[in-house]
Structure 1
Amino acid sequence: MSGKTIKADIAVIGAGSGGLSVAAGAAQLGLKVVLFEKGEMGGDCLNYGCVPSKALIAAASAAHEARHAKTLGVHAGDVTVDFTQVMAHVHAAIATIAPHDSQERFERLGVTVIREPARFLDGRTLGSASFSVRARKIIIATGSSAAVPPIPGLDTVPYLTNESVFELTEAPSRLIVLGGGPIGVELGQAFRRLGSEVVIVEADKILGREDPAAANVVLEQLRADGVELMAGRKAIRVEAGPTLVVEDERGETRISGSHLLVAVGRKPALDELDLAVAGIERDRNGVITDKSLRSSNRRVYAVGDAAGRGQFTHLAGAHAGLVVRRAIFGLPVNADSLATPRVTYADPELAAVGLSEAQAREAHGDDVRVEVFDFAGNDRAIAEGDTRGMGKLVTTAKGKVLGVTLVGRHAGDHIALWALVLSAGLKLSQITSMIAPYPTRGEISKRLAGQWYTPALFSPRTRKVVSILKRLA
């Protein structure tokens, strides 16, 4: 390792959402910023994750809507899928967004962009093949990569991950999806709607992190779509074909397909950084940080997937804002207090923020109230012919919001209101006083909040008060 030495105020490793946000903010504040990126600008989200997957889902949804438009009196005829055009749409979406994350744009902002892998040389110095960068503050924003489980035989057959699946030129005839989390469910449903046979295999429960009632709404739709669901099946080996061999209490089952997609989760991309040289502690989840996102090395911060606090692009962006405030301005921040929503972009979407009902009861015992509103009671859902789903509001007995789960059409859009409620500490009365346009699904959140007050509002005590007030009036 040799070459030019650079002194910088901020050095950032990784040009994904978090790293780019830190670099842009610091550069526009007049600081000297160096940004290392060994792969594609824009990181996983733009190139292999959020953007291509949602573009694929949009195509799959269009095919599904066309097939089922007859329920609304619209007959589209036979629906055919041109997979080449679908993938062209996917890559066009990436190309359209890419200039915003491009090297050229960041160089115009004044950032020195080095397209090489970096590693720590000491506690405040990074090195690559051509440069040595000594910085006042260093930000680790390396993101994560697809986790590949140590299943015997997996290394002997071709398999897909989210980093390769969007390079397919032909739709799989039969896709085996190993992993029943959000990535596996989203891609599995999309490929099924695009014409592939799909089986999703999960060692535990499919969408097991989510509220069981909400998850079941999604699972019912997957089954209706023709996706084969195999939960509680542990993968024990992979054979040529590919063939996935799984087992449960009844014995072994062989699942054969044309393609195997491994979607068992993600791991932080930290192994090549030589963190120990810089005195930076980590665990299996990522860099160990305090609430200000600072590592055990006081000059080094971590954001996004690398910080081990959740693997969401929007969380990485929020982390970037905190780090700019803390590392540059010295302001107090608290990453532990962030109310981070999550969405599984299946159809229907499943969105949540805060505590689930089970988590709330574990933390608060009997001091928990739960309100549920079925989307069949929403006029817009009825008008659209899509009443699938529900909302669940979890509060303390006194009405403090602990968490919300929504499952239904556009649930990911509507969870934002509840993220605001949690982050700003809003009261339920402020939601009930909001005027929601009619008819929209936005009314669902107001109905959830209103239901919380229903028992008290129409209680015998309230009726007695009204009776007295009537006589006085």
Structure 2
Amino acid sequence: MPDFDVAVIGAGAAGLSVAAICSGLGLSVALIERGRMGGECLNTGCVPSKALLAAARAAAEARQAGRFGLRLPPPEIDWAGVRAHVQGAIARIAPNDSAARYRGMGVEVIEAAGHFAAPDVIEAAGRRLSFRRAVIAAGSSPVIPDIPGLDGVPWLTNETLFELEEPPGHLVILGGGAVGIEMAQAHARLGCLVTLVEAAPRIAPGEEEELVHPLRAALLAEGIALHEGARLARVEQLEPEGPQAGAGVVLHLADGTRIAGTHLLLATGRAPRLAGLDLPAAHVAATPQGVRTRRDLRSVSNRRVWAVGDIADPEGLGPRRLTHAASQHAAVLVRSMLFRLPGTRLDYAALPRVTYTDPELAQIGLTEAEARAAGHRDLRILRWPLAENDRAIAEGRPEGMVKLVATSRGRLLGASLLAAGAGEMAGPYGLLIGRRLPLSALASLTLPYPTLAEAGKRAAGAFYAPKLLSPFTKRVITLLKHLP
């Protein structure tokens, strides 16, 4: 008889969700974690980065108070206080992810590295644990790019950035995706010089292009230096120029540009943590993107094994390295692994993603370019600028837009939002796309006034305006006006 019904490797967002659900349903569960409980999201990702962004936003609001007729002195940045806020946020959330809490649920938490020893056995802490089912939730780690000279200079990733005891004098960020952009704005607002280098033609590659342009303008207005379409030739150490100066880094771009900074942050993507799992011993197939699974997240080569979270590479979909994707994976796994429901398939059609800059950039479903590449024709593109939204005007934040991509029959394929708090506005669009509801469901929704969410309703209403104001409708109204 197996030692456990379910053995989970990894106590990040995905692994914790799976362990809690399985234990709650009465199964015996082993949860194996070699690092800190809560994984990347709690300790070095979502939570500390959003806490840092909150501190940075408060500093920016103090500087911008003059537009409301308020006269405030420039904010003084107490870096130790900022760090205390960040670490305090982690500490307040940590008990929810703690080993003690999960042991209280009946989960056997094994705080050690685990690896497969056979198709149905995991070794951890000197023990051989047999299982009925195993779930690989080992997560991902920052990609360290192959750059000449990088091995000779100090560098940071999100796993070490929040440990800095002093603010960077000049933070050079390699990578203009969500992490790079967020940390660029946060540190600029906290008084650091920031330069961001992106190899793609523009920052935020893959996001809705016409919404990236105003976000780019906002970053430039805050003093962030952007180098887009930049190819990095090599990196070298910058020697200190005085007895009190610390060594820095110099980036040499292929076009001859030289960028010197005190700190280098690598934000060039993430890779699955496959090393050390000994997947061949379990006959578990993998790709460079992660554990190969079917759409139900079951391994294509070992029916006893599933993969969830950053490490999963579902066929035809690929990985989605987002905390809320891990939660979605856990829900799919429950239907697939526990209830054995046939036809269970992962679907990312309504999966949102958010870049938590100010303004925030949110994407739900397909961008216009993605919709056209997928073969959708006769699209309706609907826009509503926040410059015509009463709440945005009242708060002095008229920059941004809601852009909807819909079929000619009124089915929403994608929504792009650029606004303060755009992530908080994303929910209804995911519901429309996921449940295949018509745009009329949003256009007819009664929303409180004034809110930014009205911009989406107005964009959806624009789909029906031509019909409502058509000559036919006007003739009908002309006839109906004679009725008593």
Q: TM-score range by the shorter chain?
A: over 0.9
* Cα distance in structure 2, aligned partners of 1:377 and 1:301: 48
The 1:337/1:89 distance shift into structure 2, 3 A limit, reads: closer
SS in 1 for 2:49: helix
- Equivalent residue, structure 2, for 1:68: 64
1:287-337 Cα shifts (integer Å, max 9, x gaps): 111111101211111111011320100110111121122211112321135
Q: Where do 1:128-139 residues align within 5 Å?
A: 128-139=124-135
Q: What one-letter code is carried by the residue in structure 1 that aligns with 2:94?
A: A
Which residue among 153, 156, 179 is the counterpart of 1:157? 153
* Cα distance in structure 2, aligned partners of 1:39 and 1:161: 17
Which residue among 199, 206, 209 is the counterpart of 2:206? 209
Q: Where do 1:426-441 residues align within 5 Å?
A: 426-441=437-452
- Equivalent residue, structure 1, for 2:243: none
Which residue among 225, 240, 249 is the counterpart of 1:243? 249
**Shift, 1:244, TM fit:** 3.9
Confirm or deny that 1:264 pairs with 2:268: yes
* Cα distance in structure 2, aligned partners of 1:220 and 1:348: 11
Which residue among 320, 335, 338 is the counterpart of 2:330? 320
Consecutive aligned runs of 4 or more in structure 1 exceeding 6 Å deviation: none
**Shift, 1:183, TM fit:** 0.1
- Equivalent residue, structure 2, for 1:377: 388
* Cα distance in structure 1, aligned partners of 2:332 and 2:27: 17
- Equivalent residue, structure 2, for 1:281: 285
Do 1:374 and 1:389's aligned partners in 2 also have CA atoms closer than 8 Å? yes
Q: What one-letter code is carried by the residue in structure 1 that aligns with 2:331?
A: G
**Shift, 1:366, TM fit:** 3.0
**Shift, 1:243, TM fit:** 3.2
Confirm or deny that 1:78 pairs with 2:74: yes
SS in 2 for 1:217: helix
1:87-141 Cα shifts (integer Å, max 9, x gaps): 1100000000000000000000000011111111111111123221111110011
* Cα distance in structure 2, aligned partners of 1:405 and 1:325: 30
- Equivalent residue, structure 2, for 1:400: 411
**Shift, 1:365, TM fit:** 4.5
Do 2:142 and 2:270's aligned partners in 1 also have CA atoms closer than 8 Å? yes
- Equivalent residue, structure 1, for 2:457: 446
Moved more, 413-422 or 356-365: 356-365
- Equivalent residue, structure 1, for 2:316: none
Do 2:250 and 2:258's aligned partners in 1 also have CA atoms closer than 8 Å? yes
Do 2:188 and 2:223's aligned partners in 1 also have CA atoms closer than 8 Å? yes
Count of residues paired in the alignment: 467
* Cα distance in structure 1, aligned partners of 2:349 and 2:22: 22
**Shift, 1:370, TM fit:** 0.3
Do 1:245 and 1:252's aligned partners in 2 also have CA atoms closer than 8 Å? no
- Equivalent residue, structure 2, for 1:118: 114
Q: Where do 1:94-109 residues align within 5 Å?
A: 94-109=90-105
Do 1:122 and 1:277's aligned partners in 2 also have CA atoms closer than 8 Å? yes
Gaps of 5+ in 1: none
* Cα distance in structure 2, aligned partners of 1:393 and 1:311: 24
* Cα distance in structure 2, aligned partners of 1:323 and 1:431: 31
**Shift, 1:17, TM fit:** 0.7
- Equivalent residue, structure 1, for 2:169: 173
The 1:232/1:27 distance shift into structure 2, 3 A limit, reads: same
Moved more, 263-272 or 194-203: 263-272
* Cα distance in structure 1, aligned partners of 2:427 and 2:465: 24
SS in 2 for 1:95: helix
**Shift, 1:235, TM fit:** 1.4
* Cα distance in structure 2, aligned partners of 1:467 and 1:163: 68
**Shift, 1:6, TM fit:** 7.1
Q: What one-letter code is carried by the residue in structure 2 that aligns with 1:395?
A: A
Confirm or deny that 1:293 pairs with 2:290: no
**Shift, 1:12, TM fit:** 0.3
Do 1:243 and 1:254's aligned partners in 2 also have CA atoms closer than 8 Å? no
Gaps of 5+ in 2: 239-247, 314-318
- Equivalent residue, structure 1, for 2:358: 347
1:359-417 Cα shifts (integer Å, max 9, x gaps): 11222343211001000111111110111100100011111110000001010000111
Q: Normalising by structure 2, what TM-score?
A: 0.94
* Cα distance in structure 1, aligned partners of 2:262 and 2:137: 36
Alignment RMSD (CA, Å): 1.4
Which residue among 449, 456, 459 is the counterpart of 2:467? 456
1:123-161 Cα shifts (integer Å, max 9, x gaps): 111112322111111001111101110101111111000
Do 2:234 and 2:253's aligned partners in 1 also have CA atoms closer than 8 Å? no
Do 2:139 and 2:311's aligned partners in 1 also have CA atoms closer than 8 Å? yes
- Equivalent residue, structure 1, for 2:222: 225
* Cα distance in structure 1, aligned partners of 2:32 and 2:24: 18
Moved more, 181-190 or 365-374: 365-374
**Shift, 1:216, TM fit:** 1.2
**Shift, 1:347, TM fit:** 0.6
**Shift, 1:188, TM fit:** 0.7
